Amino acid sequence: MGKLTPRDMVLVALFAALAVTAALLFRFFGGMIVPFSLMPFVALLAGGLLGARLGALSMGIYVIMGLVGIPVFEKPPFGGPAYVLSPTFGFLIGFIAAAYLAGLILKGHDAGPVRLATAMLAGVVVIYVIGLPYLYAIINFYMGKAIDIPGALMIGFVPFIGFDLLKALAAGMLVKAVSVRLPQLSRQH
């Protein structure tokens, strides 16, 4: 991993702060095991604009902030190392991977509609590929509640996939708009 320039540090910090803001916006609309969240949008935007390395780093810093005890997560306990035992923690790891994958797919290429759609869709897929098995495992093996795979999908996938695809579309459109207006910002790998 190369050195970070001051510009890189500012951009990473900006997206980590954006992640905190996105998480806190919906903290008060809880009640579901997996809450509605703008985090997929932020993760995809970070990967699309900052690239794989810096996008993933910004999401990673957000997760680390929460794990050290800063109350930045959407669901109780809102932060601390115990959050790794939350059913939603896998989705947080998925956000890091989504930013990385979206940035990797866009690396060094113009954000044409097919490549952009592929990057955003791949990011959404990786969020669920990591988040759903984690949710299933925590509910079954840590919380001791018997849930089958269709039950896990009904809790963590079905209510959210449509919204997440819309967030991916919005993130892709914003990445495209920013890359046209500020080409020096987008996809600096």
pLDDT digits (tens, 9 = 90+) for 73-105: 988 888 999 999 999 999 999 999 999 999 999
Instruction: Write down the domain spans for the chain.
Output: 6-181
What's the pLDDT score for residue 189? 44
What's the pLDDT score for residue 135? 97
What's the pLDDT score for residue 76? 81
From the options 1.10.1760.20, 1.10.1130.10, 1.10.287.3510, 3.40.50.720, give the CATH code of 6-181: 1.10.1760.20
CB-neighbour burial class of residue 68 (10 A; exposed 0-12, middle 13-18, buried 19+)? exposed
Regions of the chain short of the pLDDT cut 50: 187-189
> What's the CA dihedral at 66, 122, 159, 147 to 10 degrees?
-70
Rounded distance between C-alpha atoms, residue 22 and residue 115, angstroms? 26
Identify the DSSP state of 29: G
The reported pTM is 0.92
* End-to-end Cα separation, the chain, in angstroms: 11
Angle CA 91–92–94, to nearest 5: 60
Rounded distance between C-alpha atoms, residue 101 and residue 107, angstroms? 10
